[in-house]
Structures are given as structure tokens and as C-alpha cells.
Amino acid sequence: MIYLLAKYTLLFVLTALLGFVLGYWFSRRNIEDVTESFEYLRKANDRSDATQWERLWMHLHATPTPKETDLSSVYERIDNVSSAIADLPKPLPVNLETVEKRLDSLGAMVHGIPVPLTPAPVDLGPINHRLSAIEAGLAGLGKRLAERRPVESVLRNESSNETRNQPRILKAALYGTKDNLQSISGIGPKLEGLLNQNGVFYFWQVAEWTKQDIDIIDERLDVFQGRIERDSWVSQAEQLKNQPGAARVPAE
């Protein structure tokens, strides 16, 4: 039994030793093959680089040398221009003697003007007299206006108590900016111009029309007769005169 165990042990050791030797030899051979392949590739790469450099130098040497640019024609044209400029006639000098003489004479005249040491007195008497007369006239006008106002107020009160036979007609828009009468339905630009020509500028004028006033104004509307009552101008104006932008009724 011991003899068989020793025999197997010796056989196992020999087998392991043989495997180690074979593995070392195989790995060594592979390393040498890789080294030889790398060296071969390096030499091939060097040969390829050298070949490419030789080709590049051949192309460079084959490139033709650039010729010198011929600028003789340009230089010739520049010379022609320079000679033409040199041949231009020089401008003649301007004679300013007469101008200088006139300036000297003007300067002498200005210096010869006498300058008083003190300004001459100005007589303001006529002006003061005129101003006094104007002030007196304005004072008298104010007194006459003050005397006339009571008479006008009395006449106005008397006329207000009487029945008006005519609609209130104005010569112009005397009570502020005239109202836009086209806001009344039925009044266009043509009718507004016609009403302005007949002294109607404000909503409050239309709103206070009576039947007699309507008849009087209607006769002046030419081809637009009958529009006042048909479109109810008076009732519309009664509402429009109270708007914020409408002109106010003047105090009697």
C-alpha cells in the first residue's frame, strides 16, 4: 500500500514538472513571436514614412518657381499721370488790392463817425402827453359802460317779459365752442352748415324752439323742410344740451 502511494506521488511530481517545463517553453515562444512581429511592423512603418516623405519632397521640388510680376505697365501709367499733373497750368494769383482798398476806406469811415460822450437827451413829452390822453379816454369809456349796463339790464328784463316772436338767432358762436349739431339724428354736414348760416350753433337754441320758431327755421332749410318735426330735433336737443361737453345756456 505504501509502495503504491509513493509510486503515485512520484508520478504526480514528474507530471507537474513536465507541465511546468512545457508551459514555460510555450510562453517564451509566444513572447519571441510577438517581439518579432512588433519589430517587423516598426520597420515597415519606418519604410512607409520614409517613402511618403520622399514623395512629398518630390512634389515640392516639382512645383514651378513663381515668376516675377511685371509691373512695368503700371509704373508707366503712374509716370504719365505725374507728368500730366506737372503740365497743368498754375493758377494766377488773385488781385485783392481793390478789395483791400475798399475795406480800408470803410474802416476809415467807421472810425470817422463821431461818438458823443454822453447820449443826447430824448424828449418824451409828446409820448407822455399821448399816453395821458389814452388813459383819460379809457377812464371815460369805463364810466360810459358803467352807465349803460343798468339801461341794458332794464331793456333785457322788459324784453324777457314779452313773448318772443322770433327764434333766438346768433351772429356767431358767442357762448363758447359751438355744439356738434350732427349729434342730432337727421342732421348731417349739409344741414349743420345751413343751421350755422342761419345763426343756430348750440343745442340749447334748438331745445327752446316753439311751434312758431320751428315754422320760421323750417322755411330757411330749403329742400330739408319738415325734418325738424319729423326727426324730433327739439326733444333730442333737450337731452343733448345737458351733456358735459355741451355749451351752457347763457344767463338772461
Tens-digit pLDDT profile for residues 30-86: 776 667 777 777 777 777 788 888 888 888 788 877 778 888 899 999 999 988 898
Please, what is the average pLDDT of the chain? 81
Residues 170 and 145 in one domain: no
Identify residue 170 by its one-letter amino acid code. L
Residues 157 and 175 in one domain: no
In a domain, 98, yes or no: no
In a domain, 71, yes or no: no
In a domain, 103, yes or no: no
pLDDT in tens, 138-192: 776 766 666 555 544 444 544 443 445 678 888 888 888 999 999 999 999 999 9
The values of phi and psi at residue 105, to 5°, are: -65, -40
Residues 139 and 170 in one domain: no
Residues 188 and 219 in one domain: yes
Residues 191 and 235 in one domain: yes
In a domain, 24, yes or no: yes
Domain closes at, from 162, 182, 216: 162
Chain centroid to CA 140: how far?
A: 58
In a domain, 49, yes or no: yes
Q: What is the distance between the alpha carbons of residues 87 and 205, in angstroms, rounded to a whole number? A: 92
Identify residue 187 by its one-letter amino acid code. I
Residues 142 and 204 in one domain: no
In a domain, 199, yes or no: yes
Closest CA to 228 of 244, 212, 243, 245: 212
Residues 140 and 182 in one domain: no
| Domain of residue 28, residue span | 1-57
Q: For position 237, what pLDDT does the model report? A: 93
Residues 147 and 187 in one domain: no
In a domain, 178, yes or no: yes
Cell of 29: 515562444
> What percentage of the chain reaches a pLDDT higher than 70?
86
Total number of domains constituting the chain: 3
Residues 183 and 221 in one domain: yes
Query: Furthest-apart CA pair in the chain: how many Å?
Result: 172
Residues 141 and 215 in one domain: no
Residues 208 and 134 in one domain: no
The sign of the dihedral angle between the CA atoms of 41, 43, 46, 48 is: negative
Domain closes at, from 138, 162, 186: 162
Residues 138 and 218 in one domain: no
In a domain, 215, yes or no: yes
The least confident of 2-6, 54-58, 151-155, 214-218 is 151-155
